[in-house]
Amino acid sequence: MRAAVIVFPGSNCDRDLAAAFRELTGTDPVMVWHKDTSLPAGLDIIGVPGGFSFGDYLRCGAIAARSPICRAVVEFANRGGHVLGICNGFQVLTESGLLPGALMRNSGIRFVCKPVALTVATSASPFTNAFSTGDTPVFPVAHHDGNYTASPELVAQLRDEDRVAFRYVDNPNGSVDDIAGILSENRRVLGLMPHPERAVDAALGGTDGRGVFASVAQALVAA
């Protein structure tokens, strides 16, 4: 399995994400700078990390989503590649059109930074297969703009197609239908606001996040 992590100016979870991939999938991810126009050959999965890419200017993730490397990420996903976008990475994926909906300012206005309990809404994905549907892992959240917004039609479609991956147990940001993470139509792209990569070490915020990377390993290393 080959993985890459995209690095934008202002990314700050890129190394945590790389460490999580390294520890749980046994692959050392290639770090790809935003100005690169092409991806390394033979990739199986790309991680789009959290942070404040381009200072959150204009809208969170908006500038990053138009960077040269993002065009390559969109093409990779359209060819059936796996993409995991966390926090700012989720915002980049919605801004690039790979995932539907948008992430707006938290309904309570404040930046929310705390561990939150989630419900695994479906274990039928390459990112959640190591969980059981209904599990309640705890991942940290740290965001100002995590309020997932979608039309009632889109919310119904996401439900019907079993594309909600995670829901908040106690909604911290006003997201519609308590949505914390969603899958693409082919289920190979996951965007989520909570940080599984910050919950892979017992010394640092618990180990519930390991399930996401163990799932990826199960889906892609075995394949």
Partner 1 sequence: MRAIVHVMLKPGVLDPQGEAVRHALGSLGFDGVNGVRQGKVIELELAGDDPKTAEAQVAEMCEKLLANTVIESYRVEIV
Residues with active-site annotation: 87, 195, 197
**Among positions 19, 102, 138, 214, the unique one binding partner 1 when judged by CB under 8 A:** 102
> Does the protein bind partner 1 through residue 144 (CB under 8 A)?
no
> Does the protein bind partner 1 through residue 44 (CB under 8 A)?
no
Stretch that binds partner 1, among 11-19, 103-111, 201-209, 214-222 (CB under 8 A): 103-111
Q: Closest approach of Cβ 23 to partner 1, in Å?
A: 35
Strand, helix or coil for residue 149: strand
Dist CA 183 CA 198 (whole Å): 20
> Does the protein bind partner 1 through residue 107 (CB under 8 A)?
yes
Q: Closest approach of Cβ 73 to partner 1, in Å?
A: 17
Q: What is the per-residue binding string for partner 1 in 166-185, x denoting contact by CB under 8 A?
A: --------x-----------
Stretch that binds partner 1, among 6-14, 71-79, 92-100, 181-189 (CB under 8 A): 92-100
- Nearby residues of 158 by Cβ (< 8 Å), 6 or more positions away: 100, 150, 164, 177, 179, 182
> Does the protein bind partner 1 through residue 124 (CB under 8 A)?
no
**Among positions 40, 55, 108, 134, the unique one binding partner 1 when judged by CB under 8 A:** 108
The owner of tokens 């790979």 is: 98
Radius of gyration of the chain (CA): 15
> Does the protein bind partner 1 through residue 157 (CB under 8 A)?
no
Output 8 or 213, the one with its CB closest to partner 1: 8
Q: How many other C-beta atoms are found inside a 10 Å radius of the C-beta of residue 199?
A: 23
What is the full DSSP assignment across 17-67?
Answer: HHHHHHHHHS--PEEEETT--SPPTT-SEEEE--B-GGGG-SSTTHHHHTS
Dist CA 79 CA 216 (whole Å): 18
**Among positions 79, 80, 109, 222, the unique one binding partner 1 when judged by CB under 8 A:** 109
**Among positions 2, 15, 22, 66, the unique one binding partner 1 when judged by CB under 8 A:** 66
**Among positions 147, 175, 184, 215, the unique one binding partner 1 when judged by CB under 8 A:** 147
How many alpha carbons lie under 13 Å from residue 173 in its C-beta half-sphere?
27
The tokens for 79 are 């060819």
